[in-house]
């Protein structure tokens, strides 16, 4: 694992074929799942930026399993009351949903 260096910026990642392929795979996954939709920017609003996060996935035998690149939103740039409540990604585990329905059924 010591031979694989985690890139510090996008240019370093693009110079390495493994990291470049990981970034391409991430973009293809985001496009195939229809993660976003391009729309015109409303006047007076700012775009929430994004950045790449890189990780080396190691297998049980301590060898490099794969290189992983994720594109993440810079949610910390949002301002509460201005654009903080506009963008979110609701996520719930299936067990939580089942529990909610069970409690609703018990309480009629």
Does a structural domain hold residue 2?
Answer: no
pTM over 0.85? The answer is: no
Residue numbers of the domain that contains 75: 10-106
Does a structural domain hold residue 36?
Answer: yes
Extract the residue ranges of the chain whose pLDDT is less than 70.
1-2, 75-90
- Eight-state DSSP code of residue 80: T
The size of the chain, in residues, is 108
Number of domains within the chain: 1
Cα(first)–Cα(last) distance of the chain, in Å?
Answer: 56
pLDDT in the model for residue 12? 92
Query: For 41-65, what is each residue's pLDDT tens digit?
Result: 888 877 878 889 999 998 888 888 8
pLDDT in the model for residue 1? 47
CA count, 13 A, side-chain hemisphere, 96: 4
Q: Where are the beta strands (DSSP E) in 2-61?
A: 50-58
């Amino acid at each position: 694992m010591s031979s694989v260096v985690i890139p510090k910026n996008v240019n370093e990642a693009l110079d390495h074929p493994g990291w470049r392929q990981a970034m391409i795979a991430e973009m293809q996954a985001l496009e195939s799942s229809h993660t976003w939709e391009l729309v015109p920017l409303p006047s007076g609003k700012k775009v929430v930026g994004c950045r790449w996060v890189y990780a080396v996935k190691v297998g049980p035998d301590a060898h490099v399993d794969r290189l992983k690149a994720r594109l993440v939103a810079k949610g910390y740039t949002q301002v509460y009351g201005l654009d903080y409540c506009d963008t979110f990604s609701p996520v719930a585990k299936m067990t939580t949903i089942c529990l909610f329905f069970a409690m609703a059924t018990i309480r009629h």
